[in-house]
Amino acid sequence: MEWPGSDAENAGRRLALLSVIAGAALALIKIAVGIAANSAAVVSDGFEAAADVVSSAIVFAGLWLASKPPDDNHPYGHGRYETLAGLGVSAILAITGFAICGHSFQSMSISSHVKSFAVYPLLAAIGLKATLATLKFRTARQISSAALAADAWHDLTDLLSTCVALVAVSLTLSDPVRFQKADHVGGIIIGLIVIALGIRVGLHTVEQLVDTMPDEKLMNQIRTVAMNVPGAIGIEKCFARRTGLKYHVDLHLEVDPELTVRDSHLIAQQVKFNIKEQLDWVADVLVHVEPAPSAHVEARQAQAAPTFRRKA
């Protein structure tokens, strides 16, 4: 199956699709085995895995929509769909966490004998989720995907919740009388972990939706590339906002006020080209040309001979 976008972005979508398929099978097995083994912790972990399936499907859809090229109605591209997918994942995590806590708390008063085969799907899930989380984190860094990173954190939470379920079931099996509530307590802990992660992912995604600036290290990269262009004298303002997988940059570039409009435009074009060429996390650059103060012009001319001609 071919998708638009780079090889790394296609790898991200394939990974999200694989996660949906593997997660669906794992969730069904956990819930079925948990019910058969009378384990609240395993059932809770199964519901958490089911939420993982839904979130992975949302991530897949978000990455698919985000890869669409810009059009007349979306000149900045469709990257916000990827950000919205991350927000959807956080909401699902929080809702699932509350549901798991409620289910485990209600079943606390029910006395049941947990059967030993409850541990088998948990052991299998640990290996699978550890692998998926590692691959997703690596791919999310390559394509700067908030949604895929959120889904990787979800896998990590699933791994942590599975370990909690494994400990709870093991305690119950080792001493059913002394640790008769351990299985139910494990389910509640799983729910609280999922709620906490949902809040964390949501806050990170909201930062993108409100156009939070990237860190100063990334902003300095933009300024450095721009100032290396001959004719660029200074930078009055530099802003960047994330639109899905990449950033859009607004740059106010200072040039010699005595240059012709054509020469100023050529400098601006070169700045835009160099930033997009050298910084793969930048989607587009809008360069505003500003007349540089006389002191800045003289300081720049003292460093190097003028590259562009002045007006006659």
pLDDT digits (tens, 9 = 90+) for 233-276: 999 899 998 876 678 899 999 999 889 999 999 999 999 999 99
Identity of the residue numbered 104? S
Q: Using N-to-C axis directions, what is the helix angle for 40-66 and 146-174, rounded to 10°?
A: 170
For the cut 60, the answer to whether the pLDDT of residue 97 exceeds it is yes
Q: Which of 163, 177, 175, 146 is nearest to 48 (CA)?
A: 163
Q: 236 and 191 in one domain?
A: no
Decide if 285 is inside a domain.
yes
Q: What is the pLDDT of residues 122-154, one digit of tens each?
A: 888 888 888 888 888 888 877 767 667 777 877
Given this model, what pLDDT does residue 310 score?
A: 46
What does the block give as tokens for 246?
């990449």
pLDDT at 311 > cutoff 70: no
The pLDDT confidence band at residue 308, using thresholds 50, 70 and 90, is very low
Query: Are 175 and 220 part of one and the same domain?
Result: no
Same domain, 16 and 147: yes
Q: What is the pLDDT of residue 188?
A: 84
Domain annotation covers residue 243: yes
Dig out the tokens for 243 from the structure: 């639109």
Where residue 7 falls among pLDDT bands split at 50, 70, 90?
low
- Give the pLDDT of residue 1: 44
Does the pLDDT at position 2 exceed 60?
no
Distance from C-alpha of 244 to C-alpha of 213, rounded to nearest angstrom = 14
Between 275 and 203, name the one with better pLDDT: 275
In a domain, 2, yes or no: no
- Let me know whether 34 and 134 are in one domain: yes
Residue 311 covered by a domain:
no
Last-in-domain residue among 209, 234, 255 = 209
- Domain membership of residue 49 (yes or no) is yes
At a CB cut-off of 8 Å and minimum separation 6, what does 67 contact? 3, 4, 5, 9, 13, 78
Residues 193 and 230 in one domain: no
Of 180, 209, 238, the domain-final residue: 209
| Counted domains in the chain | 2
Q: What is the CATH number of the domain that holds 95?
A: 1.20.1510.10
In a domain, 282, yes or no: yes
| 83 and 196 in a common domain | yes
Domain end: 161, 179, 209, which one?
209
Examine the domain organization and report whether 266 and 136 are in the same domain.
Answer: no
Asked if residue 128 and residue 61 are part of one domain, the reply reads yes
Distances (CA, A) of 298 to 63, 149, 292, 310: 49, 48, 10, 14
223/137 same-domain check: no
> Please, what is the average pLDDT of the chain?
80
Residue 289 has pLDDT above 60, yes or no: yes
CATH of the domain at 276: 3.30.70.1350
When mean pLDDT is compared across 10-14, 152-156, 162-166, 230-234, the lowest value belongs to 10-14
Asked whether residue 143 falls in the same domain as residue 245, the answer is no
pLDDT at 111 > cutoff 80:
no
Q: Are residues 141 and 248 in the same domain?
A: no
User: Is 290 part of a structural domain of the chain?
Assistant: yes
User: Residue 309 falls within a domain, yes or no?
Assistant: no
**Domain of 232, in residue numbers:** 216-303
Same domain, 204 and 220: no
Work out the percent of the chain whose per-residue pLDDT is above 70.
86
Strands 246-255 and 234-243, sheet pairing: antiparallel
Other Cβ atoms less than 10 A from the Cβ of 312: the count is 4
Output the pLDDT for position 273: 95
